[in-house]
Amino acid sequence: MKRILLSTTSYQDTPGAHHGLLASQGYEIVRARGPLPESRMLELAGEFDGFLCGDDDITHAVLTKCAPRLKVISKYGIGLDKINLSACQELGVPVLFTPGVNHTTVAEHTFCLLLALVRNLVDSVNATRAGKWTRITGNELWQKKIGIIGLGRIGQEMIKRCRGFEMEVHAYGNYWPEEFCAAWQVVRHETIESLLAAVDILSLHTMLSASSRHLINADRLAYLKKGALLINTSRAELVDAAAVLAALNGGQLGGYAADVMEHEPPAPDELLLSHTKSIITPHIGSRTFESVPRQAMRATQNLINFFNGDGEVFYATRD
C-alpha cells in the first residue's frame, strides 16, 4: 500500500470531489496541518511514497530522510520555492504541480485588496462596527497608473481587470506576451526602475527565485511616487518587509496590501499586521469554493496518474 503525506490545509478543509477521488485509491493517508516548517517535516519524514503538499519546507534534509522510498511530490498549487528542486533532481524525485487552475481567483483577490486600500474599506467597516459614522474620503482607480511585474496567467488576469476600470497599465517582465499586451494596451518597460517611477500603484505577480528575492527593496521603493500603493499576492520574500515598513512610516508608501507573509502564520507582534496603512490577509488568494477543488483535483489526479503510469501529468520538474 502506498503511503502519502497530505499536508495542504486548503485541500483538507474544503468540500469537493477530490476527497472521494483520493479515498478511492486505497492509499494510506497521513494528514498534517501545513504549511510545515523543516523541523516538523523532519519529524514526519520517513516511509512515504509521495507527498501531496502545499507550502511546506521540503529541504535537502527532508528529501534525504525520505529517500529512497519517496517517488513523487505532487504540489497543490504552482509555487515551488519551498521545495529544494536541485535535491529532487539529485535524488530522482519528480515534482508535479497545477498550472492554470487559480489565476482568476488570485487576480480577483488582488483587486479586492486594491479596492480596499483606495477606498479605506477596512477602517470604514471597523468604525461602523464600533458604532461610529466616520466618513473617510478615498480615491478612484479610474485613470490611475498601475505597474504589473510578471505577465504570467495571474498578471494577465490582473491586467484585464485594471483595463475594465480604465486604468493605465504599465508592465515589466522577462516573459512578454506580445499579442495580449497589444490588445490590452500595456505599456512596456525595460527596467523595473523605469516602471516604478511611472506608476501610482505596483502589483507583484512574479515567481520567487534567488534573483527575485527582495526584488522590491529600499532602493527601489525610492523610485515610486510619494504615497504610492504596493500590492503583493505572490510571495512575501519578493519584498524587503523592513524596507516596506520604513516606507510606510516615512510616507513614501501610502499603503501596503499583501496575502503572504515570510513566516505563516506570522508572529502576533509582526508590525505589518497592525499598521494603519497595511492590509494583510492570511494567504487566502486562491482559497475559494471554486478554486480549491480545481487545484485539489489536479494535484490528486497528477499523483494517481503518476503512480498508475498513464493519463496526463503536469510536471514542474522531472528526475
Tell me how far apart the alpha carbons of residues 247 and 318 are, in angstroms, rounded to a whole number: 42
Strands (E), 45-164: 50-53, 72-75, 95-96, 145-149
Grid cell of 191 as nine digits: 527596467
Active-site residue flag, 262:
no
Grid cell of 19 as nine digits: 476527497
Tell me how far apart the alpha carbons of residues 222 and 226 are, in angstroms, rounded to a whole number: 8
Q: Considering 263, 264, 290, 318, which one is annotated as catalytic?
A: 264
Active-site residue flag, 298:
no
**Residue 25: HSE in the Cβ half-sphere, 13 Å Cα cutoff:** 20
Contact 270, 261 (CB under 8 A): yes
Tell me how far apart the alpha carbons of residues 250 and 240 are, in angstroms, rounded to a whole number: 15
Instruction: List, in sequence order, every residue forming a beta bridge with 315; answer none if it has no partner.
Output: 96
Q: How remote is the C-alpha of 128 from its chain's centroid?
A: 31
Q: Considering 18, 103, 189, 235, which one is annotated as catalytic?
A: 235
Contact 226, 204 (CB under 8 A): no
Active-site residue flag, 287:
no
Please give the single-letter amino acid code of residue 94: P
CA dihedral angle for residue 164, residue 166, residue 167, residue 171, rounded to 10 degrees: 60
Tell me how far apart the alpha carbons of residues 117 and 159 are, in angstroms, rounded to a whole number: 18
Tell me how far apart the alpha carbons of residues 109 and 111 are, in angstroms, rounded to a whole number: 5
Grid cell of 152 as nine digits: 504570467
Q: Considering 18, 283, 294, 298, which one is annotated as catalytic?
A: 283
Dmax (CA) of the chain: 63
Place of cell 527575485: 212
Active-site residues, by number, are: 235, 264, 283
